[in-house]
Amino acid sequence: MKPVLAELHQIITKDGIPLEGLFFRPKKKSGIAAIWLGGLTSRFSKNPERTNILADIFTKNGIGFATFDHRGLGLINSLKVRNGKKEKYIAAGTAFEKFKHSVLDIEAILSFLRKYGYKKIFLLGHSTGANKAAHYIWKKGGRGLAGVGLLGPLSDIPGIKAGLGRKYSAALKTAEKMVKKGKGKELIPFSLVNGAFWSAERFWSIAREGSKEDTFPYYNQKRKFYWAERVRLPVFVVIGEKDQHADRSVKEILETLKKQIPQKWFSGAIIKDADHGFSGKENILAVKLASWVKGEKL
């Protein structure tokens, strides 16, 4: 496969954060584009092989392909916020990211694509990007989107609980106390989270059952997915058969999502032998996604 030509762009979110990324234009423009929204700590440059394969297959099918950084890039980072002539730096990266602000990142990419004439836009959220895509459906009703792909849509909570063991409850209580005392931007003591970097606010969001970041609570069959009742557009769920982060059968996870999402809008697939990042199976993933975007029978 020859490298796919891309344009490097910078977009500015409504709250003044600059985000860099790549846009791949098809030779024959169809008015259709797809956004790849990455997971925890991811950057647009993190997986060149997967990006090139996706971009190659999408553009050959007349679909524009955009992949941009988000404010959770890296573990700990700083971003320059622009407000008119004033500039300031804020703590960013996964450890400090506010999940609710992911909506602003998505809106900025949508605005960028609309500026170039793309009207039929699909959001492909991978890993935590899937959580953000689901939350966007709830917050904005999927406004501006023709469809949403949930790729590797797993809950972080079972893994966090298993990793912390008896420390989980203490870490959660500490995070809650810190947030209530106005110390949400401070890091949780390393001893409570096995040396991981988490601000109290982010840990309270990602590790707590029932938070808005807890979009896929399949670990509790009694729970409803809060965002699913607002689905009014096609949703394509794709999971790797050997996803290393799954705490149960991926078939069970897919079936739970199928039950939660209105049947009219749901479609799903399990990619054989694929891991969480679809390593070595990128071509299969890309073909399935491009077919779905084009409305072909899966």
Listed residues 193, 214, 235: the one ending a domain: 214
Range 43-53 burial, b when 16+ CB lie within 10 A, else e: bbebbeebbbb
Q: How would DSSP label each residue in 80-120?
A: EEEETTEEEEEEESTTT--GGGHHHHHHHHHHHHHHTT--E
Q: Are 178 and 200 in contact (CB under 8 A)?
A: yes
pLDDT at 35: 99
Tell me, yes or no, whether 60 and 92 share the same domain.
yes
Q: How many helices (H) and strands (E) does the chain have?
A: 8, 10
Low-confidence residues of the chain: pLDDT under 70: 1-3, 298
pTM: 0.95
Tell me, yes or no, whether 125 and 259 share the same domain.
yes
CA distance 121 to 107: 12
pLDDT at 1: 65
Stated as kind and residue range, the H or E segment containing 67 is strand 63-68
Note the pLDDT tens digit of each residue in 149-203: 999 999 999 999 999 999 999 999 999 999 999 999 999 999 999 999 999 999 9
Q: How would DSSP label each residue in 257-278?
A: HHHHS-TTTEEEEEETT--TT-
Tell me, yes or no, whether 112 and 166 share the same domain.
no
Classify residue 1: in a domain, yes or no. no
Which CATH number does the domain housing residue 94 bear? 3.40.50.1820
Tell me, yes or no, whether 140 and 241 share the same domain.
yes
Tell me, yes or no, whether 128 and 186 share the same domain.
no
Tell me, yes or no, whether 31 and 112 share the same domain.
yes
pLDDT at 297: 73
pLDDT at 83: 79
Tell me, yes or no, whether 147 and 248 share the same domain.
yes
**Tally of CB atoms within 10 A around 185:** 16
Q: How would DSSP label each residue in 112-174?
A: HHHHTT--EEEEEEETHHHHHHHHHHHHHTTTT-SEEEEES---SHHHHHHHHTTHHHHHHHH
Q: Given the DSSP bridges, would you call strands 18-24 and 7-12 parallel, antiparallel or unpaired? A: antiparallel
| Residue that has been written with the tokens 């935590």 in this structure | 128
Tell me, yes or no, whether 86 and 36 share the same domain.
yes
Q: Name 291's Cβ contacts closer than 8 Å, sequence gap at least 6.
A: 297, 298
Tell me, yes or no, whether 135 and 168 share the same domain.
no
Domain that includes residue 71, residue range: 7-155+223-293
The count of structural domains within the chain is: 2
Tell me, yes or no, whether 188 and 229 share the same domain.
no
Tell me, yes or no, whether 139 and 42 share the same domain.
yes
